A = this chain, B = another copy of it.
């Protein structure tokens, strides 16, 4: 076997952790005590937004998973089954994926309940079930699955003036030709060797990454250039976080000017609200949204502050009115050609991000019945705290007002030179980004 020495070390650490944390359960059983697992609760109600550190954290609640509790017995069995699968994989030099772990554990148990005939029950049916058990193991052990050498699909790519050690190799990320380095699924095992860069630019779209790379953007502007190729996976998020955390590099996110692009930013910055335990390791709270902004498309004069006063809290309107005004990067004609009409799904997602009141305050007279339907019944939605900033509310307000969205490619179509040598550098230089 020609696996790396790094993996050997990680494997040993994982094995030790399992023996320590699950050894207790075995000990209980041997001592005739009822086996019980205490696992941090991964529920929304036990999720806390830490305003100071701008991070989602798990709260103090634990759940007791007891084998002798009829309602918990199946979950207990699933957790122990999963633990044994992952432990076996560690010991046997395997690199399972979450998909094959699902298959490894999937089988039928025959149960005979008292006075009943034989019944069959599956250990788990869908992968969503086994994935959830993997998450329980992660929070129980206080480790990410990647450090147990559970691999997954990985889309993130990087180029830039830095060298890294991965496995037993040293890789020069400035010598990738026209291609790029595809980040490993276990980015915690990467060692940063030397870095000569001033910032990190994460591009949502692979094709735009290819353009900027080919143009030599990262050489010219001393950037580490990354693409998440759409919705970022865990490895890309962890890699970006480490660049920010350990090397102190500012991180800029370039995404489409639409709720999907803003959501991608949100995933980099905070993570998923239902997976808060990951956030502490994967999120980059200091990430900056560099564009494309609605204000880059329409400028700020499109906004009617007086109208906002009717439905938004005065302090928010006040704060918005004090933001520096912006001129659009696009001409009237470009705007007409490039803009895409928002879909009902976009409107729904935008409300989730910044709250119903912003939609209510900013929407004009909506004639499209589907859009109206998308708004109905959303009254209670408060929005995420990190989108309740005047800068973001201004962006979202323009979105609701115009019901328009715009792709990065529309900016690139003004010329790669415009995107690479004007738009991005100017926005960085003038601090025209949102955090």
Contact = CB atoms under 8 A, between A and B. Distances in A.
Contacts of A149: 214
A211 interface: yes
B153 A3 contact: no
Given A7-B214, A337-B103, A407-B99, A177 B182 contact: no
Given A1-B215, A184-B177, A92 B410 contact: no
Given A154-B210, A219-B2, A181 B178 contact: no
A147 interface: no
A226 to B, nearest CB: 12
Contacts of A7: 178, 214
Given A168-B177, A337-B106, A97 B2 contact: no
B413 A100 contact: yes
Tally of this chain's copies: 2
B169 A177 contact: yes
A215 B95 contact: yes
A341 to B, nearest CB: 12
Contacts of A177: 4, 164-169, 171, 184, 190
A433 interface: no
Contacts of A208: 97
Taking each of A101, A103, A176, A190, which has the highest tally of chain B beta carbons within 10 Å of its own beta carbon? Answer: A103
Interface residues of A, number: 74
A169 B180 contact: no
A211 B167 contact: no
A229 B206 CA distance: 14
Contacts of A333: 107
Interface string A396-435: 0000000000010110110111000000000000000000
Q: Is the interface of A mostly helix, strand, loop or mixed?
A: mixed
A182 B210 CA distance: 11
Nearest to A220: B2
B108 A337 contact: yes
Interface of A: 1-4, 6-7, 92-97, 99-104, 106-108, 149, 151-155, 157, 164-171, 175-186, 189-190, 205-208, 210-211, 214-216, 219-220, 229, 333, 336-338, 407, 409-410, 412-413, 415-417
24 contacts: A7-B178, A93-B416, A94-B416, A94-B417, A95-B214, A97-B208, A100-B409, A100-B412, A103-B338, A108-B337, A151-B207, A151-B214, A152-B210, A153-B207, A154-B210, A166-B179, A168-B177, A171-B179, A176-B181, A178-B186, A178-B189, A181-B181, A181-B182, A185-B207
